[in-house]
A and B are shown apart, each in its own frame.
Chain A
């Protein structure tokens, strides 16, 4: 149970097949992706402060907002800098996870 498991070979192969860049060759867990948001936006997207709450929003809405931040189409203080840190695929995955929040 404590044996160290090597990095998933399958994911590496997938990365080569799909031609993703080295940094995104293997997929980050969808759960960890969405947990990147809760530090500021609150547990399950229930924000107790100035950041907008994210719960109850459809995946397409969240995805569009993040893509707009990433591409400079939406005014931001910090979300542009953060959204640029995720690939388009990750943003799609993240949006689906966030949409599950109630």
Chain B
């Protein structure tokens, strides 16, 4: 890794920028990149721009001083991980990689002037902007499910306090109670997530409240790794988990948080001891308010560089963008983060960008020792981002316990490796 040189701060930088100590001789950066979002996509992109070209100044805009990952948050729900295990900070990004951090919220972008405005009013200039702000929820898309409803019926689809709230509710519920999980239609963050959640809650219930049930009321008719999940549920949990697909009246259209009831499309009402609504999603307001999104709510981008099709010099990665066949996952965001960093560095140096390759691997646990996976290697063709024919796919349907345990250990290994790669190393 190239030795870092310190620079004095441009007066244009926001007041919240990290101070590295006594400023030394001023040296103008070759160019400035601003990254919005300190999660899987943004932190990766920020680090790799610095690694590929330390003469490019990188400012990361992230309101929080820590990042709690959604991946593995289901294991906090089931009790075998603690929230501390899945929470990271930005110290290494700052101290080892020289990323400047502004702990504020990006509220506006001026693509012509090439500035990002943060909530305290400061304007951050950029030559290239990489947005990776994740998702926001479409409040009231489900009648009654507004922001306040999440206090009683947590989504826990952004990890942190919501995860702990849902965990508390699961711990407090009586034996014999029903946990309702309501996953949304596609596209949404983490396609296998709700079904891993059902598995992990089932594991807790089986060991602590075995008469309880889980009712998945789905807005879809199929889900990620479905065959594998359903095989595993039957094998391990018997009839504890019931999945109701949309065409069999699974779609939740209304909730009454004070009554802990949900109502489905054809008028059925269900009451839960715990109700986990995972509402429909879209790109956050920073993307929508400046016109980066399509009517579907996510950002259209060039599949080779993730540059917005709306504004030049603005790239969007991770859950906020439309990335063809790539799922909205942490691993995808990390893969895109590296590719966009290379694309941006090449552009800023006037070099041609080679065609990219992207990878996604998603592990899910059915029990702490029973893991399953889906993976794909992606290319850009004239159809956009597509999986490689004859490669990738899901774990085999028939496999022995050793195979499943091996994948569970790999899931742990993936997390340790990726956390190290993004925030800790």
Q: List the interface of chain A (C-beta within 8 A of B).
A: 1-2, 4-5, 7-8, 11, 22-24, 26-29, 31-33, 35-36, 38-43, 47-51, 77-78, 81-86, 90
Contacts and interface: CB of A to CB of B under 8 A. Distances in A.
A2 B312 contact: yes
Instruction: Across the A-B interface, give the 9 residue pairs with the lowest CB-CB distance, nearest first.
Output: A85-B377, A49-B413, A50-B413, A84-B391, A85-B391, A50-B409, A49-B416, A48-B416, A29-B354
10 contacts: A2-B347, A27-B354, A28-B357, A32-B338, A32-B356, A36-B377, A40-B413, A49-B410, A78-B375, A85-B391
A32 B339 contact: yes
A19 B353 CA distance: 21
Interface string B108-143: 000000000000000000011000000000000000
A87 to B, nearest CB: 9
Contacts of A5: 347, 350, 352-353
A78 B395 contact: yes
B285 interface: no
Contacts of A28: 354-357
Interface of B: 31, 127-128, 304, 307, 312-313, 331, 334-335, 338-339, 342, 347-348, 350, 352-357, 359, 361, 373, 375-377, 379, 381, 388, 390-393, 395, 403, 406-407, 409-410, 412-418, 420-421, 425
A58 B354 CA distance: 26
A47 B415 CA distance: 11
B377 A82 contact: yes
Contacts of A42: 417, 420-421
A91 to B, nearest CB: 12
B361 A78 contact: yes
A90 B379 CA distance: 13
A86 B338 CA distance: 18
Contact of B417 (A27, A40, A77, A82): A40
Most buried by B among A4, A36, A85: A85
B399 to A, nearest CB: 8
B412 A50 contact: yes
A83 B393 CA distance: 12
Most buried by B among A28, A39, A43, A49: A39
B361 to A, nearest CB: 7
